[in-house]
Amino acid sequence: MFRSLLFVPGNNPSMLQNADIFAADAIIFDLEDSVDITEKDNARQLVKHYLDDAVNHPSFIVVRVNPVDTEWFASDIELIQTNKVDFILLPKADVDSLNVLEEKLNDLENKYQLNPIKVLALTETTKSIIEVYKIAKHCRVEGILLGAEDLASELEIDRTNQGSEISFARSRVIFASTACQIIPIDTPNTNIEDEQNLLEDCLIAKSMGMKAKTAIHPSQLEIINKIFSPSQKEINWAKGVLKEQEKNIGKGAFSYQGKMIDKPLITKANNILKKASQYNIKR
């Protein structure tokens, strides 16, 4: 679906104006954390103008609304009067808040004759991490985004470059998402001037099973896209597996490069080549 998602503050006109040229697979128009309470109305209006004018946007469009228990949620959700919004990003997501959002989206879809609106659930509380599997099973949810900064704040722990303190939360998000066949999305890296740390962070997240990562600055997108795209080695392996499969039609398993290949690895090979095609990777 995507590798990279870029947060764009809803009250930043220059970033909104350039949203269609950023190399992100999804743009998250943020009405929540990056917008001061005095700027909420302004941000909402700027995003509305963008949506009104947007034509053939190359990336998925995501709108991060404010939490359902805030005074801004009702006005935020009224922005969704168009099929140009692909996802709602729900902060502080848990089962209760998803059910509130579900009711609002049902009303909007009926009122404005909209296509079904999908949701990315932002799990950034201890409650959401504990009930993450229930969140992943929700009929609206297409992906789960880990919010490590708020989670660390609630736990009263420090974030580190190594990220060992969020390993449990990462694993919960990855396992729940994979079990429900939705996409696990990794927390943003806030060290925007440390490319080496971003690279290492991406590699750790990918090795654990994350399939995408959020960015808070456009400069982070190149590394994120590279790490979460199939590598040349992976593409060559996948092509070799499928070529060998053609020679072994009718066999439940066969050998390739000295290792047994069966159905799960064939599925993996197909997924690698599907992603390479989706992201137009020609190597």
What does pTM read for this prediction?
Answer: 0.92
Tens-digit pLDDT profile for residues 250-271: 888 999 999 999 999 999 999 9
Mean pLDDT of 12-17: 91
Higher pLDDT among residues 31 and 19, named by residue = 31
The answer for residues whose C-beta is within 8 angstroms of residue 20's C-beta and 6 or more apart is 54, 57, 58, 59
**Residue 6: beta bridge partners?**
27, 215
pLDDT above 90: residue 217: yes
Confidence class of residue 283 from pLDDT cuts 50, 70 and 90?
A: low
State the pLDDT at residue 280: 79
What is the phi-psi region of residue 118: left when phi exceeds 0, alpha when psi lies from -120 to 50, beta otherwise?
beta
In single-letter form, the type of residue at position 164 comes to S
CATH 2.60.40.3710 at 4-227, yes or no: no
Mean pLDDT of the chain: 94
State the pLDDT at residue 99: 96
State the pLDDT at residue 282: 62
pLDDT above 90: residue 6: yes
Token pair 């998925």 in the structure block, residue: 60
State both tokens at 223: 């590394």
pLDDT above 80: residue 281: no
Token pair 């991490």 in the structure block, residue: 129
Q: What DSSP element (H or E) covers 28?
A: strand 26-30
**Which residue ranges does the chain devote to CATH 3.20.20.60?**
4-227
State the pLDDT at residue 103: 96
- Spatial separation of the C-alpha atoms in residues 211 and 208, rounded to whole Å: 9
Tens-digit pLDDT profile for residues 27-82: 999 999 999 999 999 999 999 999 998 877 778 999 999 999 999 999 999 999 99
Distance of alpha carbon 235 from the chain centroid: 23
Tens-digit pLDDT profile for residues 173-183: 999 999 999 99
pLDDT above 60: residue 216: yes
State the pLDDT at residue 120: 98
